[in-house]
Amino acid sequence: MSIFLSGLSAFPITPANAEGRVNVPALRRLLAPLCMAGVNSIGLLGSTGTYPFLSRAERRRALDAGLEEAGALPIVVGVGALRTDEAVRLAQDAQAAGAAAGLLAPVSYTPLTDDEVYEHFVTVARESGLPLCIYDNPGTTHFRFSLALVGRLSQIPGVIAIKSPSPEAQAASSHLAELRLVVPDGFSLGYSVDWLSIEPMIAGGHCWYSVIGGIFPQIGMSIVRAVENGHFDEARRLNAHLEPLWTLFRKFSSLRVVYACADVMGICSAEPPRPILPLTVGARQQVVDALEEIKLI
């Protein structure tokens, strides 16, 4: 049965050693608070989870541990890969393990055409049977989904949702309205880019795919509940309160900052996979200062 993705989908890092071996106990320590906070789903092996840097075997180890830790909580798992056949195998692994859905990005070295991306999704959906969420992340894939392509993909059996980068606040309502015109009823419209996601959610977006939700789930849930209850001013206030952290996300990238947060919070001391470098001592202190300012430590 297909899942409808809504509320807070929390995206944690995937702690691993220098050889790419997933630290399962550390991953469990990251996931346990998400389950306790009552997030709506866990986004495992997303971009924050550094999925392209991990082997198929390690991605399966992370997924198995995540599913065991999460219990009945749905897990949306990244299944993107350079080759379509590899993405199929990853999606088949996820389906066999019991993931609720796969997050599929058009990862490629050579720029892809709309037709190539369409065939990629058709093949992965058909060969795996795993419900798929379109992952529109042009900052890393250098491919942006047009409205026409989203409309075509939404008609593929098993393609159930899209994770879009949030537009600027003033464009949130129009962006959502344009998407609604091209997808069928029951198709989940969700957003990422934490500091911009509040307005699409207020405008009626279904799901917030959140980096901060993967490390500070209580705050993410507070924002989502405020939106769900129609307390939009409170949701905006909570979002504005996090501006010191959003500033660092924009300055250093959310990935590097959240690795530092996990270390500062004593959850795990993992470093991002090379060639990505951890924050310098000075930048890490800025993270500490921001967390102290917003009273997260």
Averaged over 80-109, what is the pLDDT? 98
CA distance 297 to 260: 13
Question: CA 238 to CA 219: how far, in whole Å?
Answer: 8
Domains annotated for the chain, with CATH where assigned, are 7-230 (3.20.20.70)
Strands 7-10 and 132-135: unpaired
Q: How far is CA 215 from CA 44, 60, 99, 175, 271, in A?
A: 13, 22, 21, 28, 15
pLDDT at residue 2, rounded to an integer: 78
Greatest extent of the chain over all pairs of C-alpha atoms, in Å: 49
Q: What is the mean pLDDT of residues 43-48?
A: 98
For residue 210, which of 199, 195, 200 has the smallest C-alpha distance? 195
pLDDT digits 0-9 by tens, 107-145: 999 999 999 999 999 999 999 999 999 999 999 999 999
296: number of Cβ within 10 Å: 18
Task: Provide the angle, in degrees to the nearest 10, between the axes of the packed helices 114-128 and 147-154.
Answer: 20
pLDDT of residue 257 exceeding 80, the answer is: yes
Q: Is 188 helix (H, G, I), strand (E, B) or coil?
A: strand
Q: Provide, rounded to the nearest whole percent, the portion of the chain with pLDDT above 70.
A: 100
- Specify the pLDDT at position 1: 56
Taking the alpha carbons of 162, 215, 231, 195 in that order, is the dihedral positive or negative? negative
Query: What is the structure's pLDDT at 221?
Result: 98
This prediction's pTM: 0.97
Token digits for 231? Answer: 């307390």
- Residues 181-206 have a mean pLDDT of 98
